[in-house]
């Protein structure tokens, strides 16, 4: 089966590598986003997918606007591909392109469709406190993740999982599911999506990162892990990244690892504490600061002070010499 692969970030790499390794498939070309300037040196850097393509000496096409790039469109037509495989490419394929491959265009999407159509399904799934997500393979159409579904695979979301961890799990799961989809393709019966059940995972805006301590503890916790590692509060008029948190509530302790057993033993004492949202109401040895939210308490498990590397909540308390009553402001 001759395949043209469309993808850009690290999320797409496991699928590409599985396709390259598999004896039943031949990746004849790779389409990815143009190189971008990154890092302190502001140097032009290739996408994660392009790096893999170069390692395997596969032709790479990088149109800035693929719908209007006649050179790339001509190459795609001439490729005589059986399938286009699309994994987090970053551009929308035109109707003309969708009709090019003999067996259609197959997308690997990081949610259980029709939930979380769009650009950031993993992040918004965690943000909304979902306890399960997964991968859907589908035949692409002109809409935004609206095509008929082929196969699904599920994975749990644990209380302390963040978007990077779930993305790595789903990237591997998506690679396996795509291979299964292609091998079964002739026999699969595509299933239409129920549009009435659809939700949309929009692009994340910078304003989504700002922490508001008046929200509930679990809402802030889900925000921090969903938008990891970018959520920010303010300490002494400087940005403070909140990298990981733990909701200090009895309802969640059964979901926590054994290392938090000490917290569970102190739950009764902690439950009696009150303060203004953003105020440190307790400091627990070897853990860190416990902050009052609009409803409930939140332990700061990992933070990053401006100009420094990420550090544990306990190192943060000691380094900044924090005390009960100190205030961390909104982002």
**Which DSSP category does 34 fall into?**
P
Q: Would you state the pLDDT for residue 254?
A: 85
Contact (CB, 8 A) for 213 and 245:
no
pLDDT digits (tens, 9 = 90+) for 46-69: 999 999 999 999 999 999 999 999
**Which DSSP category does 11 fall into?**
G
Q: What angle do CA 307, 289, 162 make, to 5 degrees?
A: 70
In sign, the C-alpha dihedral spanning 160, 164, 169, 170 is positive
List, edge to edge, every strand of the sheet that includes 83-87.
Answer: 60-61, 26-31, 2-7, 83-87, 105-109, 132-139, 149-156
- Is residue 70 pLDDT above 80, yes or no? yes
- Is residue 203 pLDDT above 80, yes or no? yes
Contact (CB, 8 A) for 251 and 273:
no
DSSP reduced 3-state for 161? coil
Split at pLDDT 50, 70, 90, the class of 272 is confident
Distance, in Å, from the CA atom of 296 to the CA atom of 290, rounded to the nearest integer, reads 10
Q: Is 14 marked as a binding-site residue?
A: no
The dihedral region occupied by 189, where left means phi > 0, alpha psi between -120 and 50, and beta the remainder, is beta
Tokens representing 83 are: 């399938």
Q: Which residue has the higher pLDDT, 37 or 181?
A: 181
Per-residue pLDDT, averaged over 291-314, amounts to 96
Indicate the range of 124-133, 154-163, 268-277 predicted with least confidence.
268-277
Q: Domains in the chain and their CATH numbers?
A: 2-201 (3.40.50.170), 206-320 (3.10.25.10)
Per-residue pLDDT, averaged over 282-301, amounts to 95
Split at pLDDT 50, 70, 90, the class of 133 is very high
pLDDT digits (tens, 9 = 90+) for 8-48: 999 999 999 999 999 999 999 999 999 998 777 778 899 99
pLDDT digits (tens, 9 = 90+) for 210-240: 999 999 999 999 999 999 999 999 999 999 9
Indicate the range of 29-43, 82-96, 257-271, 277-291 predicted with least confidence.
257-271
Q: Which residue has the higher pLDDT, 177 or 271?
A: 177
pLDDT digits (tens, 9 = 90+) for 78-124: 999 999 999 999 999 999 999 999 999 999 999 999 999 999 999 99
Per-residue pLDDT, averaged over 128-136, amounts to 98
CA 31 to chain centre: 22
- Is residue 267 pLDDT above 90, yes or no? no
Per-residue pLDDT, averaged over 171-182, amounts to 98
Q: Would you state the pLDDT for residue 47?
A: 94
Residue whose pair of structure tokens reads 């205030």 in the numeric block: 327
Tokens representing 45 are: 């850097």
Contact residues for 174 (Cβ-Cβ < 8 A; gap 6+): 11, 14, 15, 87, 108, 110, 135, 137, 153
Tokens representing 6 are: 């469309």
Neighbours of 230 (CB within 10 A): 17
CA distances in angstroms from 168 to 46, 155, 185, 232, 287, listed in the order given: 20, 12, 25, 23, 27
Give, for 10, the enclosing helix (H) or strand (E): none
Give, for 322, the enclosing helix (H) or strand (E): none
The DSSP code sequence of 52-120 is: HHHHTT--EE--SSGGG-HHHHHHHHHHT-SEEEEES-SSPPPHHHHTSSTT-EEEEESSSTTTTEES-
Tokens representing 317 are: 């308390």
Distance, in Å, from the CA atom of 288 to the CA atom of 120, rounded to the nearest integer, reads 31
Q: Is 111 marked as a binding-site residue?
A: yes
Split at pLDDT 50, 70, 90, the class of 263 is confident
Contact (CB, 8 A) for 87 and 173:
no
Q: Would you state the pLDDT for residue 38?
A: 78
- Is residue 186 pLDDT above 90, yes or no? no
Closest by CA to 247, choosing from 275, 276, 215, is 215
- Is residue 154 pLDDT above 80, yes or no? yes
Q: Is 113 marked as a binding-site residue?
A: yes
Mean pLDDT (the chain) is: 95
The DSSP code sequence of 180-228 is: HHHHHGGG---B---GGG--EEPPPPGGGGB--TTSBHHHHHHHHHHTT
């Amino acid at each position: 089966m001759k395949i043209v692969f469309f993808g850009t970030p690290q999320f797409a790499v496991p699928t590409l590598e599985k396709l390259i390794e598999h004896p039943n498939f031949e990746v004849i070309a790779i389409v990815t986003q143009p190189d971008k300037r990154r890092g302190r040196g502001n140097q032009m850097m290739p996408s994660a997918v392009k790096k893999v393509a170069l390692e395997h000496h596969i032709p790479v096409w990088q149109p800035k606007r693929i719908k209007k790039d006649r050179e790339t469109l001509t190459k795609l037509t001439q490729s005589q591909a059986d399938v286009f495989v699309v994994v987090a490419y970053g551009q929308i394929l035109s109707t003309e392109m969708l009709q090019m491959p003999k067996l259609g265009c197959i997308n690997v999407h990081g949610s259980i469709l029709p939930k979380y159509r769009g650009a950031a399904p993993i992040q918004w799934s965690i943000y909304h406190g979902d306890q399960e997500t997964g991968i859907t393979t589908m035949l692409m159409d002109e809409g935004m993740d609206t095509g008929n579904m082929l196969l699904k695979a599920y994975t749990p979301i644990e209380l302390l999982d963040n978007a990077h961890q779930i993305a790595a799990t789903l990237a591997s799961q998506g690679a396996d599911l795509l291979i299964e989809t292609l091998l079964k393709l002739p026999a699969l019966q595509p299933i239409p999506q129920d549009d009435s059940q659809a939700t949309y995972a929009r692009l994340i805006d910078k304003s989504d990162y700002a922490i508001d301590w008046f929200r509930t503890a679990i809402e802030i916790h889900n925000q921090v892990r969903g938008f990891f590692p970018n959520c920010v509060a303010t300490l002494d008029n400087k940005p403070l990244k909140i990298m990981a948190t733990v909701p200090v509530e009895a309802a969640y302790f059964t979901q926590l690892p054994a290392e938090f057993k000490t917290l569970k033993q102190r739950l009764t004492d902690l439950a009696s504490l009150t303060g203004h949202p953003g105020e440190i109401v307790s400091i627990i040895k070897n853990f860190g600061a416990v902050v009052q939210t609009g409803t409930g308490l939140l332990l700061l498990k990992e933070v990053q002070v401006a100009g420094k590397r990420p550090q544990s909540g306990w190192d943060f308390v000691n380094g900044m010499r924090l005390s009960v009553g100190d205030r961390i402001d909104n982002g």
